[in-house]
Amino acid sequence: MENIGQTVLELVIGFIALLIATKILGKTQISQLTPFDFISAIVLGELLGNSVYDHEIYIWNILIALSIWTLLIFIVERLTQKFRGVRSTFEGNPSIIIRKGHIDRDELKSNHLDINQLQQMLRQQKDIFSIREVEYLILEPNGLISVIRKPKYSSPTIDDLKLKQKAVYLPITIISDGIVDQDNLKQAGFDENWLFNQLEKKKISKAEDVLYAEWSEDEGFFCLKMEET
């Protein structure tokens, strides 16, 4: 029982410590996952795991280690923000793999990629099934690719087609899983009477029967019933 109590205590303290660490470090661990960020996240998890499974290591030692590691990562993040020269060391630089339709084999090799991997990345990330469509391809530090298609393969824009531009409106979620979001309903400028009138038009008697509903200024009211999924 003593070991169980110690394990629970270590998990709770470790959970709080990791939560504080992720709040301090911000969103870079997920949204800008560079190799350095990936390794730092693994180390943070391993430090906590060691305290849980190795009873010879006290939680206070792990908390000190977590604090020092978090501080080091925080310092690195601040350095990369202030000093451009440090960024390439910790974050890496983007690499131009395809330039003006031609593959740079040296860049391909330096990033440990082959043609098959390059084709797979184009298919999965950009829905491009032929390298001939690519004018420029940049491999970002986080492993994702940015692509500019050749003019003949690029989608026409509104300006190209000489069409009148329409205003863009953000849809507002009104109902999710049968629950009315009162704040969003008010933000859209409506009340529950309006909402129930809209539901009656769809032959729906109550909000609990709605899986999802939204309002858009240009498209109006849209909803999906539970049984439609």
Give the number of other Cβ atoms within 10 Å of residue 135's Cβ. 17
pLDDT at 48: 66
Q: How many C-beta atoms lie closer than 10 Å to residue 93's C-beta?
A: 10
Over 60: is that where the pLDDT of 204 sits?
A: yes
Tell me what the mean pLDDT of segment 20-46 comes to: 62
The whole model's pTM is what?
0.56
Two tokens, residue 49: 């795991």
Task: Assign 189 a pLDDT band (cuts: 50, 70, 90).
Answer: very high
| Token reading at 39 | 């390794």
- Give 141's contacts (C-beta < 8 A, 6+ positions apart): 34, 91, 92, 93, 94
Q: CA–CA separation, 36 vs 88, rounded Å?
A: 11
Backbone phi, psi, residue 102, to 5°: -110, 135
